[in-house]
A and B are shown apart, each in its own frame.
Chain A
Amino acid sequence: DGGITQSPKYLFRKEGQNVTLSCEQNLNHDAMYWYRQDPGQGLRLIYYSQIVNDFQKGDIAEGYSVSREKKESFPLTVTSAQKNPTAFYLCASSQGLIAEAFFGQGTRLTVV
């Protein structure tokens, strides 16, 4: 089936550790995005990438890093510099500018 796959579904991190969240899409979309959702809130953009080997910071990029080495993959690393990483993380993709965005099922990250 075509879609966006995020893994893992649940992730626990000890303080001071880096963790990487996976996002893979087989929709042949050019653009990919990472959003963060906190309880009772809407989504906020962390990073986005319009093409391979290029990405841009969103509104809340501090403490996060990404890479885009392949069109279908856009992993997000939550570093130890992120002060409050416990949240629900959603990956999305779209065909291009101003196009309809589609979302994965999300990864719930908890710091223990």
Chain B
Amino acid sequence: GIQVEQSPPDLILQEGANSTLRCNFSDSVNNLQWFHQNPWGQLINLFYIPSGTKQNGRLSATTVATERYSLLYISSSQTTDSGVYFCAVDPYGGSQGNLIFGKGTKLSVKP
């Protein structure tokens, strides 16, 4: 089945710094989503981005479907950005709605 790899696994930043998180996937996908899991476990939708570029405030994401990767950019990081960031894909031709998750990037933003 499709493999989803996220890097780096852990990231420590000083408040105000910028960062780039990467998601590589091994096959074609219908759908790609980025989530932020907060310390209470809730998954917050960041982007639904099967291709192209989107921006939402300090966050932006780019998916290059033909090269099978997606990037999440966080600018001017804040302590509230801490948590785990997941990339999830719906494989082309796979089970309906079966989002395959990467193992996540754990981000810690220090004041």
Query: Interface on chain A toward B: helix, strand, loop, or mixed SS?
Result: strand
**Chain A nearest Cβ from B43, distance in angstroms:** 4
Interchain CB contact (< 8 A) of A41 among B4, B98, B103: B103
**Chain A nearest Cβ from B11, distance in angstroms:** 15
Q: Does B45 count as interface, using CB distance less than 8 angstroms?
A: yes
Decide: A101 and B33 in contact? CB cutoff 8 A.
Answer: yes
Decide: A50 near B88, CB < 8 A? Known: A41-B103, A42-B102: no
Q: Does A64 count as interface, using CB distance less than 8 angstroms?
A: no
Decide: B45 and A100 in contact? CB cutoff 8 A.
Answer: yes
Decide: B43 and A103 in contact? CB cutoff 8 A.
Answer: yes
Decide: A101 and B97 in contact? CB cutoff 8 A.
Answer: yes
Query: What separation, in Å, do the CA atoms of A42 and B43 have in the docked complex?
Result: 11
Decide: B103 and A97 in contact? CB cutoff 8 A.
Answer: no
Q: Does A2 count as interface, using CB distance less than 8 angstroms?
A: no
A-contacting residues of B (Cβ < 8 Å)? 4, 30-31, 33, 35, 40-43, 45, 48, 86, 88, 90, 95-99, 101-104
B-contacting residues of A (Cβ < 8 Å)? 31, 33, 37, 40-45, 48, 50, 56, 58-59, 88, 90, 92, 94, 97-106, 108
Q: List 11 A-B contacts (CB under 8 A).
A: A37-B41, A45-B98, A48-B96, A58-B98, A90-B43, A98-B31, A100-B33, A103-B35, A104-B42, A106-B41, A106-B42
